[in-house]
Structure 1
Amino acid sequence: MSAIRPFHLAIPVHNLEECRSFYRDVLGCIEGRSSDHWVDFDFYGHQLVIHYKEKSAADLHTNAVDGKAVPVPHFGVVLTMEDFESLSKALQERGIEFIIEPYIRFKGEAGEQATMFFLDPAGNALEFKAFKNIEQLFAVD
Protein backbone atom coordinates (compact mmCIF):
# COMPACT_ATOMS: atom_id res chain seq x y z
CA MET A 1 0.00 0.00 0.00
CA SER A 2 1.25 3.45 -0.80
CA ALA A 3 -0.62 5.61 1.72
CA ILE A 4 -1.91 5.38 5.25
CA ARG A 5 -5.64 6.01 5.41
CA PRO A 6 -7.97 6.40 8.39
CA PHE A 7 -9.85 3.33 9.50
CA HIS A 8 -13.41 2.98 10.73
CA LEU A 9 -14.15 0.95 13.84
CA ALA A 10 -17.53 0.33 15.48
CA ILE A 11 -17.63 -1.09 19.00
CA PRO A 12 -20.47 -2.16 21.30
CA VAL A 13 -21.12 -0.32 24.56
CA HIS A 14 -23.84 -1.00 27.12
CA ASN A 15 -23.59 2.49 28.64
CA LEU A 16 -23.68 5.04 25.82
CA GLU A 17 -23.52 8.22 27.93
CA GLU A 18 -20.71 6.96 30.21
CA CYS A 19 -18.64 5.87 27.19
CA ARG A 20 -19.45 9.11 25.36
CA SER A 21 -18.00 11.01 28.31
CA PHE A 22 -14.95 8.68 28.51
CA TYR A 23 -13.97 9.04 24.84
CA ARG A 24 -14.71 12.78 24.77
CA ASP A 25 -13.53 13.94 28.20
CA VAL A 26 -10.87 11.40 29.21
CA LEU A 27 -9.27 10.56 25.85
CA GLY A 28 -9.99 13.97 24.30
CA CYS A 29 -11.70 12.64 21.17
CA ILE A 30 -13.83 15.12 19.24
CA GLU A 31 -17.46 14.06 19.00
CA GLY A 32 -19.13 13.98 15.60
CA ARG A 33 -22.59 12.81 14.54
CA SER A 34 -24.77 10.88 16.96
CA SER A 35 -28.20 9.42 17.61
CA ASP A 36 -29.91 7.80 20.59
CA HIS A 37 -28.03 4.57 19.82
CA TRP A 38 -24.58 5.59 18.54
CA VAL A 39 -21.91 8.31 18.66
CA ASP A 40 -19.10 9.06 16.16
CA PHE A 41 -15.68 10.21 17.38
CA ASP A 42 -12.49 11.46 15.78
CA PHE A 43 -10.21 8.85 17.36
CA TYR A 44 -6.75 10.27 16.60
CA GLY A 45 -7.69 10.86 12.96
CA HIS A 46 -9.75 7.67 12.62
CA GLN A 47 -13.51 7.18 12.87
CA LEU A 48 -14.64 5.36 16.01
CA VAL A 49 -18.34 4.71 16.51
CA ILE A 50 -19.72 3.52 19.82
CA HIS A 51 -22.99 1.62 19.35
CA TYR A 52 -25.39 0.77 22.15
CA LYS A 53 -25.71 -2.96 22.79
CA GLU A 54 -27.12 -4.65 25.87
CA LYS A 55 -24.48 -5.84 28.31
CA SER A 56 -23.28 -9.41 27.84
CA ALA A 57 -21.41 -11.69 30.20
CA ALA A 58 -18.43 -12.23 27.87
CA ASP A 59 -15.16 -12.85 29.69
CA LEU A 60 -11.98 -11.00 28.84
CA HIS A 61 -9.63 -13.31 26.94
CA THR A 62 -5.85 -12.80 26.98
CA ASN A 63 -2.77 -13.99 25.10
CA ALA A 64 0.79 -13.85 26.44
CA VAL A 65 3.01 -11.20 24.82
CA ASP A 66 6.39 -10.27 26.32
CA GLY A 67 5.37 -11.94 29.58
CA LYS A 68 2.14 -9.93 29.92
CA ALA A 69 -1.50 -11.03 29.60
CA VAL A 70 -2.63 -8.96 26.59
CA PRO A 71 -6.42 -8.64 26.24
CA VAL A 72 -7.98 -9.99 23.03
CA PRO A 73 -9.70 -8.34 21.28
CA HIS A 74 -8.31 -4.83 21.70
CA PHE A 75 -7.81 -1.72 19.58
CA GLY A 76 -5.93 1.54 19.77
CA VAL A 77 -3.48 3.76 17.96
CA VAL A 78 0.25 4.28 17.53
CA LEU A 79 1.31 7.65 18.91
CA THR A 80 4.58 9.55 18.93
CA MET A 81 6.65 8.83 22.04
CA GLU A 82 5.98 12.38 23.27
CA ASP A 83 2.20 11.97 22.85
CA PHE A 84 2.33 8.52 24.48
CA GLU A 85 4.13 9.91 27.53
CA SER A 86 1.70 12.83 27.77
CA LEU A 87 -1.38 10.58 27.48
CA SER A 88 -0.07 7.97 29.93
CA LYS A 89 0.67 10.71 32.48
CA ALA A 90 -2.82 12.23 32.02
CA LEU A 91 -4.47 8.80 32.41
CA GLN A 92 -2.48 8.08 35.56
CA GLU A 93 -3.48 11.47 36.99
CA ARG A 94 -7.15 10.63 36.25
CA GLY A 95 -6.80 7.34 38.13
CA ILE A 96 -7.36 5.08 35.12
CA GLU A 97 -6.94 1.44 36.12
CA PHE A 98 -4.52 -0.18 33.70
CA ILE A 99 -4.67 -3.81 32.58
CA ILE A 100 -1.00 -3.38 31.66
CA GLU A 101 0.70 -0.29 33.08
CA PRO A 102 2.73 1.85 30.66
CA TYR A 103 6.10 0.19 30.02
CA ILE A 104 8.70 -0.52 27.30
CA ARG A 105 8.04 -3.80 25.48
CA PHE A 106 10.68 -5.71 23.47
CA LYS A 107 13.43 -3.53 24.96
CA GLY A 108 16.56 -3.63 22.80
CA GLU A 109 14.83 -5.71 20.11
CA ALA A 110 13.28 -4.95 16.72
CA GLY A 111 9.96 -3.25 17.36
CA GLU A 112 10.88 -1.78 20.78
CA GLN A 113 7.82 0.14 21.91
CA ALA A 114 6.06 1.82 24.80
CA THR A 115 2.64 0.32 25.42
CA MET A 116 -0.28 0.45 27.84
CA PHE A 117 -3.67 -1.26 28.05
CA PHE A 118 -6.85 -0.20 29.81
CA LEU A 119 -10.61 -0.67 29.49
CA ASP A 120 -13.30 1.80 28.53
CA PRO A 121 -16.39 1.89 30.81
CA ALA A 122 -18.07 -0.82 28.69
CA GLY A 123 -15.10 -3.21 29.08
CA ASN A 124 -13.60 -2.71 25.60
CA ALA A 125 -9.80 -3.11 25.78
CA LEU A 126 -7.65 -0.31 24.34
CA GLU A 127 -3.93 -0.32 23.60
CA PHE A 128 -1.92 2.81 22.99
CA LYS A 129 1.68 2.43 21.88
CA ALA A 130 4.66 4.37 20.57
CA PHE A 131 7.74 3.02 18.85
CA LYS A 132 11.30 3.97 19.73
CA ASN A 133 11.86 3.92 15.95
CA ILE A 134 8.63 4.23 13.93
CA GLU A 135 10.43 2.61 10.99
CA GLN A 136 10.18 -0.65 12.99
CA LEU A 137 6.36 -0.59 13.13
CA PHE A 138 6.17 -3.66 10.88
CA ALA A 139 9.71 -4.97 11.47
CA VAL A 140 10.40 -8.68 11.77
CA ASP A 141 13.34 -10.15 13.64
Structure 2
Amino acid sequence: MVQPFHLAVPVDDLAAARAFYGGLMGCAEGRSTDKWIDFNFFGHQFVVHLGTPVGQPDTNDVDGEAVPSFHYGVVLEWEAWHDLATRLAAAEVEFVIEPGIRFEGDVGEQATMFFLDPAGNALEFKAFKDPSQLFAK
Protein backbone atom coordinates (compact mmCIF):
# COMPACT_ATOMS: atom_id res chain seq x y z
CA MET A 1 0.00 0.00 0.00
CA VAL A 2 1.26 3.46 -0.88
CA GLN A 3 1.35 5.78 2.10
CA PRO A 4 -1.02 8.74 1.68
CA PHE A 5 0.55 12.16 1.45
CA HIS A 6 -0.72 15.31 3.14
CA LEU A 7 -0.83 18.51 1.12
CA ALA A 8 -2.27 21.87 2.10
CA VAL A 9 -2.71 24.76 -0.34
CA PRO A 10 -4.05 28.29 0.05
CA VAL A 11 -7.31 29.31 -1.62
CA ASP A 12 -9.14 32.64 -1.56
CA ASP A 13 -12.71 31.24 -1.61
CA LEU A 14 -13.68 28.17 0.43
CA ALA A 15 -17.11 27.86 -1.21
CA ALA A 16 -15.52 27.79 -4.68
CA ALA A 17 -12.91 25.26 -3.47
CA ARG A 18 -15.67 23.07 -1.97
CA ALA A 19 -17.61 23.15 -5.26
CA PHE A 20 -14.48 22.37 -7.30
CA TYR A 21 -12.83 19.66 -5.18
CA GLY A 22 -15.95 18.20 -3.60
CA GLY A 23 -18.36 18.70 -6.49
CA LEU A 24 -16.52 18.59 -9.81
CA MET A 25 -13.57 16.44 -8.72
CA GLY A 26 -15.72 14.17 -6.52
CA CYS A 27 -13.43 14.31 -3.47
CA ALA A 28 -15.23 13.40 -0.23
CA GLU A 29 -15.10 16.13 2.38
CA GLY A 30 -13.72 15.43 5.85
CA ARG A 31 -13.34 17.89 8.69
CA SER A 32 -13.73 21.61 8.10
CA THR A 33 -13.96 25.00 9.78
CA ASP A 34 -14.62 28.48 8.43
CA LYS A 35 -10.87 28.63 7.57
CA TRP A 36 -10.07 25.22 6.01
CA ILE A 37 -11.53 22.04 4.49
CA ASP A 38 -10.08 18.50 4.42
CA PHE A 39 -10.72 16.39 1.31
CA ASN A 40 -10.05 12.77 0.43
CA PHE A 41 -8.00 13.52 -2.69
CA PHE A 42 -7.87 10.08 -4.33
CA GLY A 43 -6.84 8.49 -1.03
CA HIS A 44 -4.60 11.34 0.13
CA GLN A 45 -5.25 14.03 2.73
CA PHE A 46 -5.65 17.32 0.89
CA VAL A 47 -6.51 20.52 2.74
CA VAL A 48 -7.49 23.90 1.37
CA HIS A 49 -6.75 26.78 3.73
CA LEU A 50 -8.19 30.25 3.37
CA GLY A 51 -5.22 32.42 2.42
CA THR A 52 -3.37 34.04 -0.45
CA PRO A 53 -3.07 31.71 -3.46
CA VAL A 54 0.46 30.99 -4.68
CA GLY A 55 -0.18 31.93 -8.32
CA GLN A 56 1.67 30.61 -11.36
CA PRO A 57 4.54 32.92 -12.30
CA ASP A 58 7.00 30.24 -13.44
CA THR A 59 6.90 27.50 -16.05
CA ASN A 60 9.40 24.95 -17.36
CA ASP A 61 9.52 23.47 -20.85
CA VAL A 62 8.57 19.79 -20.76
CA ASP A 63 8.19 18.02 -24.08
CA GLY A 64 7.40 21.33 -25.79
CA GLU A 65 4.81 22.50 -23.24
CA ALA A 66 5.02 25.33 -20.67
CA VAL A 67 4.43 23.34 -17.46
CA PRO A 68 3.63 25.35 -14.31
CA SER A 69 6.59 24.85 -11.95
CA PHE A 70 4.26 24.55 -8.93
CA HIS A 71 1.56 21.93 -9.41
CA TYR A 72 0.13 18.82 -7.80
CA GLY A 73 -2.15 15.98 -8.80
CA VAL A 74 -2.51 12.23 -8.95
CA VAL A 75 -1.39 9.43 -11.23
CA LEU A 76 -4.62 7.67 -12.17
CA GLU A 77 -5.36 4.39 -13.90
CA TRP A 78 -5.60 4.80 -17.69
CA GLU A 79 -9.42 4.60 -17.92
CA ALA A 80 -9.97 6.76 -14.82
CA TRP A 81 -7.77 9.46 -16.39
CA HIS A 82 -9.85 9.40 -19.58
CA ASP A 83 -13.08 9.52 -17.55
CA LEU A 84 -11.81 12.57 -15.63
CA ALA A 85 -10.68 14.32 -18.83
CA THR A 86 -14.14 13.78 -20.32
CA ARG A 87 -15.88 15.05 -17.15
CA LEU A 88 -13.68 18.18 -17.01
CA ALA A 89 -14.23 18.94 -20.70
CA ALA A 90 -18.01 18.51 -20.28
CA ALA A 91 -17.86 21.00 -17.37
CA GLU A 92 -16.00 23.38 -19.70
CA VAL A 93 -12.90 23.51 -17.49
CA GLU A 94 -10.22 25.59 -19.19
CA PHE A 95 -7.09 23.51 -19.59
CA VAL A 96 -3.62 25.03 -19.13
CA ILE A 97 -2.36 22.05 -21.13
CA GLU A 98 -5.02 20.07 -23.00
CA PRO A 99 -5.38 16.35 -22.30
CA GLY A 100 -2.91 14.47 -24.45
CA ILE A 101 0.01 12.06 -24.62
CA ARG A 102 3.49 13.20 -23.55
CA PHE A 103 6.76 11.44 -24.47
CA GLU A 104 4.88 9.39 -27.07
CA GLY A 105 6.89 6.32 -28.06
CA ASP A 106 9.54 7.02 -25.40
CA VAL A 107 10.22 5.70 -21.91
CA GLY A 108 7.69 7.28 -19.57
CA GLU A 109 4.96 7.77 -22.18
CA GLN A 110 1.96 9.16 -20.33
CA ALA A 111 -1.43 10.77 -20.68
CA THR A 112 -1.41 14.17 -18.99
CA MET A 113 -3.51 17.29 -18.52
CA PHE A 114 -3.12 20.52 -16.55
CA PHE A 115 -5.88 22.79 -15.28
CA LEU A 116 -6.39 25.34 -12.50
CA ASP A 117 -8.61 25.26 -9.45
CA PRO A 118 -10.70 28.39 -8.73
CA ALA A 119 -7.79 29.92 -6.73
CA GLY A 120 -5.36 29.46 -9.62
CA ASN A 121 -3.51 26.43 -8.18
CA ALA A 122 -2.27 24.22 -11.04
CA LEU A 123 -3.19 20.53 -11.06
CA GLU A 124 -1.71 17.81 -13.25
CA PHE A 125 -3.36 14.45 -13.62
CA LYS A 126 -1.53 11.75 -15.51
CA ALA A 127 -1.77 8.06 -16.35
CA PHE A 128 0.58 5.44 -17.75
CA LYS A 129 -0.59 2.62 -20.01
CA ASP A 130 2.30 0.73 -18.40
CA PRO A 131 2.32 1.75 -14.70
CA SER A 132 5.83 0.28 -14.30
CA GLN A 133 7.05 3.28 -16.34
CA LEU A 134 6.26 5.74 -13.52
CA PHE A 135 9.92 6.03 -12.44
CA ALA A 136 11.58 4.60 -15.56
CA LYS A 137 14.66 6.37 -16.92
SS in 2 for 1:22: helix
Number of the residue aligned with 2:5: 7
User: Which residue in 2 is equivalent to 1:100?
Assistant: 97
TM-score, length-scaled by structure 2: 0.96
Q: How much has 1:51 moved relative to structure 2?
A: 0.2
Partner Cα separation in structure 1 for residue 41 and residue 2 of structure 2: 15
The Cα shift of 1:60 comes to 2.7
- Report the Cα distance in structure 1 between the residues aligned to 2:62 and 2:52, rounded to whole angstroms: 31
Report the counterpart of residue 88 of structure 1 in structure 2: 85
Q: Which amino acid aligns with 1:14?
A: D
Task: Give the total of aligned pairs.
Answer: 137
Percent identity of equivalent pairs: 57
- Quick one: structure 1 residues 23 and 8, their matched pair in 2 at CA, closer, same or farther if it must change by over 3 Å? same
Look up the match of 1:20.
Answer: 18
Distance 1:104 1:55, change over 3 A: closer
2:66 match: 69
The aligned amino acid for 2:33 is S
Look up the equivalent residue of 2:85 and give its one-letter code.
Answer: S
Instruction: Please give the TM-score of this superposition, normalised by the length of structure 1.
Output: 0.94
Q: Does 1:78 align with 2:75?
A: yes
Aligned equivalents of 1:42 and 1:6: distance in 2? 10
Segments of 4+ in structure 1 off by > 2 A?
A: none
